Amino acid sequence: MTDGRDNGQGRFVSAQAVAERAGVSRSAVSRAFTPGASIAPATLARVHEAAAALGYQVNDLARGLLANRSRLVGLVTSDADTPFRAQMIAALSQALIERGNMPAIINIGTTTEDIANASRQLLRYRAEATVFLSGSPPESLVELTRRNGQPLILINRAETGLDSVHCDDRDGAQQAFGILSMTGARRFAVINKEDPSPSLAVRERAFAEFAAASGFKPTIVRAGHSDYDGGQEAARQLLARGPAPDAIFCVNDLMAFGTLDHLRGAGLRVPDNVSVIGFDDVPIAAWASYRLTTLRQDPRRIAREVVSILDRRLSDPDLPPISVHIPVELVVRETVKTRRQEARLRK
């Protein structure tokens, strides 16, 4: 097995080269880099000195393949460049690296075949687990990974029979309706996308239920995409239908940004004429141009829960499905009318 790193001449420094420089056997080099292996302290010191001089690094991928399991963990996602998804990938990568894993980020399309191809590649590399940040794994793929002993962990999805971590979308929708109703709003609206993900669908449905329980029927508007342009598109549709609402719940921050800019361009003042709330609390939400009131998901906490589930699943593969709900936090800024803002406006 030739493991190491490039020596500047297009070849990798091998364990054999380290052994020759240290004057030890090839097996001694292997033991020197295997935690808990038996090796004399003097031999260990010579091997490490030789490795440092040559720039040698252990090839963990090759070791993992020989052991029939690598330290790779696949992160399967789409739209990896969107703000919250990028935060989630960064948090997961850091948590997995701290655990001793190597994250393999696969940015895919949304079709079943895209997802299946990505997952088959991870199986070929003996990935320790696969984390799905988007896309619903088909039944055949779930069964394939189970037969191969590879755990699947879903984020913000609710398929039964699989380990999952998701934010409490329903509670977030309740908090959103609660703060919007406190403004005295009578005309509510929800902005979502066509064919929403399970998480976005829960947010819309729950908000409508809480509104109905208080005697309101919100207007539901859906755009083609759940991004900034989608928010602008939905806001255009909303204003074209008649009187503007006085409270809007956007299922994510990106749609809220597009909604805010279109409302302001149409001459409406936020929050004087209409209050707007988002979901996720991406960094842009705090920018002076938006100061968006929103519901915060904590990517680092989600990542910690993923790692915890992975540890539990690998130590006991027969555990029943693990499902973790993480609460969301209401972050009040300047796009929802509050008593403090009303007092400021009266001055």
pLDDT tens track for 214-263: 999 999 999 999 999 999 999 999 999 989 999 999 999 999 999 999 99
Residue 312, SS3? helix
Q: What is the pLDDT of residues 156-208, one digit of tens each?
A: 876 667 899 989 999 999 999 999 999 999 999 999 999 888 889 999 999 99
Alpha-carbon distance 106 to 31, whole Å? 34
CATH superfamily for 169-297+331-346 is: Response regulator (3.40.50.2300)
DSSP 8-state secondary structure symbol assigned to residue 264: H
pTM to 2 decimal places: 0.78
The two three-digit tokens of residue 251, written as one number: 């299922």
Alpha-carbon distance 184 to 197, whole Å? 31
CB 246 within 8 Å of CB 276: no
Q: What is the pLDDT of residues 59-87, one digit of tens each?
A: 555 555 444 456 889 888 877 888 999 99
Closest CA to 222 of 212, 237, 206: 237
Q: How far is CA 49 from CA 42, 53, 116, 284, in A?
A: 11, 6, 45, 48
Contact partners, residue 344, CB within 8 Å, separation at least 6: none
CATH topology of domain 71-167+299-327: Rossmann fold (3.40.50)
Alpha-carbon distance 216 to 245, whole Å? 12
Alpha-carbon distance 114 to 56, whole Å? 37
Q: For the chain, what are the domain ranges?
A: 15-58, 71-167+299-327, 169-297+331-346
Please, which pLDDT band fits residue 130 given cuts at 50, 70 and 90? confident
CB 254 within 8 Å of CB 292: no
Count of CB atoms situated within 10 Å of the CB of 220:
16
Count of CB atoms situated within 10 Å of the CB of 38:
6
